Structure 1
Amino acid sequence: MTPPDDRHEIAALRALIAASPRPANLAERRARMESITAIDPIPLDIAMAPLQIGAMAAEWSLAPGSDARKALLFFHGGGYLSGSLKSHRTMVTGAGRAAGIRTLAIDYRRAPEHPFPAALEDARAAWDFLATQGYGPGDILVGGDSAGGGLTLALCLALKAERLPLPAGLWLVSPWTDLKITGASIAEKDADDPLIHRGYLQELAEAYLAGRTPADDPLVSPLYGDLAGLPPALIQVGTAETLLDDAVRLARRLALADGRATLSVWPRMIHAWPIWHARLAAGRAALAEMGAFARAQLG
């Protein structure tokens, strides 16, 4: 059950976001995202270890008592244009603690400098890197928020196309699964969502697709892919999101493909709210739900 004080907490978060409107300049946008998502520091007991996967920066994290033999491979959100290791460090380390496993977050290449398929190539490089570190597919949970959720699904579809083993489970927070932007909630929730709106999504999609990739290509819009045989998925979404239908339709498509999907809908929550779990009880509860899912899938 959503904690009784969540209305006050989510109102305070909305005020914080409203006080920092999104600028037009891309560099300023990227800095603004970090300023509002990395507002809470990570706990001092989290062990962080930077590394390189080829030319790509990445980070390990491990909370005390966690099982380093299991891993969460995490892809940050940001519409493929923004987001970074810094912007999602609080979220990914909190998720690792909740699941009791090691985490690997990557700084994949972003559009418009690096449009599709650069992010997917980097996601695959991180997946292959985990194999070199002794992690089998059954030891790995893959997840992300927003565009990172779409990238999670795209990686699985790419692995599936090569008939390769898939991860043990998928954690999808407010996933962006449809770059055609056809969900009814885009309009229905426009007045309620403080972050994501149609014009912004169109701008992001155009930059990522770069005029070369159709918006319904399953590797950019997994909603249109063959989802049969994908791992069990936990899909978490808030009711105050324009991307609500991206999550709801994904759960339906997975069900139609005889997949195992848990759709967890959180009243009043905004896009990717577990990022702010240090100040949202509903964020901590969502991470606890993810932790239980991870333990069930990883054994």
Structure 2
Amino acid sequence: MSLPQRTAVDTLLRHAPIDFSGDVAEQRVVLDRVLTAQPRPADVVVTPLTLGDVPALAVEIDGQAPSGTVLYFHGGVFALGSAHASVGLTAELARRAGLRVVTVDYRLAPEHPYPAAPDDALSAYRALLELEGGPGSLAIAGESAGGNLAAVTLVNIRDAGLPLPSAGLLLSPWADLGVTGESVKSKAAVDPALTADALRVRARDYLRTTDPESPAASPIHADLRGLPPLLIQAGTHEILLDDAVRLAARAAADDVSVTLDVTAEVPHVFQAFAAMLDEGAAALDRAAAFLRDRLREPAAPAAAPQNP
């Protein structure tokens, strides 16, 4: 793996014009511009669709027959980001996994605080489940705030008594909206993108009066029993490293099959830099292999948590 590549990504992020705690209207434009700066490969096919009342984009690779579908939730601290801006990353996942990725435009805070985003996520899953005719060829994935949403949605699917998808993929999940992990301090100097202050601003916008320690908002506090196998990826140069570690520990304690995949000296959602970062490409390959393997197996039935 390449030190010059990691240095280039770090420099790019430190000089990016993104302020995650800044004016929402301005920063939405900035983030979308940054994430869509590279031209889309000619073989990436993007189709708008609606899942229930929730807008989404289906991302596929021309000439590739997808063997399943991933319902994907973009990042952006619950206030920024879009399905359109996530096409670059989701197309790479679709290409490597041989799957269709459906990326969701869930409602954003502060205009639409909690529980708008998880409500949209569950509605989108219900609609996709009906379209697919069952959960066996379905997985759920997300990055950063979308990783939180993916984990919360898996719990909500279980608690609603719906059939669970075959797998969950969480990239650098923001799993603790209280922002209490030790890495928030210990990794602050090496994280080129996120700050604790910005996360706290956006957590307040999203949660309003909801307790950040609520299991429905922060999945590190949730009962995860009965969830499908999870792959959680993170980098050691991100303040949310402990969110990934603690979420994996919670899943293991709740008897969930979970793999924690930590890559050294890479930042938050480093997979998005796969075109210029060997570690990002390798992580996406591992994520794709995990999804392919799980979508070959029957999905587990919905399982409500049992009292200890």
Normalised-by-shorter TM-score class: over 0.9
Question: Corresponding residue for 1:96?
Answer: 94
Question: Corresponding residue for 1:163?
Answer: 161
Partner SS, residue 16 of structure 1: helix
Superposition pairs for residues 28-43 of structure 1, below 5 Å?
28-43=26-41
Say yes or no: does 1:277 pair with 2:274: yes
CA contact (8 A) 1:88 1:275 kept: no
Q: How many residues align?
A: 294
Say yes or no: does 1:254 pair with 2:242: no
User: What is the rounded CA distance, in whole Å, between the counterparts of 1:105 and 1:47 in structure 2?
Assistant: 13
Deviation of 1:44 after TM superposition, in Å, equals 0.8
Of all paired residues, the percent bearing the same amino acid is 38
Which 10-residue stretch deviates more, 103-112 or 55-64?
A: 55-64
TM-score of the superposed pair, with normalisation by structure 1: 0.94
CA contact (8 A) 2:71 2:103 kept: yes
Deviation of 1:86 after TM superposition, in Å, equals 2.5
User: What is the rounded CA distance, in whole Å, between the counterparts of 2:51 and 2:225 in structure 1?
Assistant: 30
**Equivalent in 47, 50, 74 of residue 49 of structure 1:** 47
User: What is the rounded CA distance, in whole Å, between the counterparts of 2:235 and 2:67 in structure 1?
Assistant: 32
Aligned Cα RMSD in Å? Answer: 1.4
Deviation of 1:240 after TM superposition, in Å, equals 0.1
Partner SS, residue 121 of structure 1: helix
User: What is the rounded CA distance, in whole Å, between the counterparts of 2:154 and 2:241 in structure 1?
Assistant: 22
**Equivalent in 215, 218, 235 of residue 215 of structure 2:** 218
User: What is the rounded CA distance, in whole Å, between the counterparts of 2:121 and 2:266 in structure 1?
Assistant: 28
Partner SS, residue 68 of structure 1: coil
Superposition pairs for residues 128-277 of structure 1, below 5 Å?
128-211=126-209, 213-277=210-274
**Equivalent in 262, 284, 287 of residue 284 of structure 2:** 287
CA contact (8 A) 2:143 2:269 kept: yes
Question: Corresponding residue for 2:304?
Answer: none
User: Match for 1:52: what amino acid?
Assistant: T
Deviation of 1:12 after TM superposition, in Å, equals 1.5
Deviation of 1:218 after TM superposition, in Å, equals 1.4
Deviation of 1:228 after TM superposition, in Å, equals 1.0
CA contact (8 A) 2:54 2:124 kept: no
CA contact (8 A) 1:17 1:36 kept: no
User: What is the rounded CA distance, in whole Å, between the counterparts of 1:97 and 1:243 in structure 2?
Assistant: 27
Consecutive unaligned residues of structure 1, counting only runs of 5 or more, are none
User: What is the rounded CA distance, in whole Å, between the counterparts of 2:41 and 2:133 in structure 1?
Assistant: 26
CA contact (8 A) 2:51 2:128 kept: no
CA contact (8 A) 2:220 2:246 kept: yes
CA contact (8 A) 1:72 1:143 kept: yes
Deviation of 1:41 after TM superposition, in Å, equals 2.6
Consecutive unaligned residues of structure 2, counting only runs of 5 or more, are 297-308
Deviation of 1:135 after TM superposition, in Å, equals 4.0
Say yes or no: does 1:80 pair with 2:78: yes
Give the ranges of 4+ consecutive aligned residues of structure 1 lying more than 4 Å apart after TM superposition.
none
User: What per-residue deviation string (whole Å, max 9, x for no partner) do you get for residues 140-168 of structure 1?
Assistant: 11000001011011111111112222110
Say yes or no: does 1:13 pair with 2:9: yes
Partner SS, residue 294 of structure 1: helix
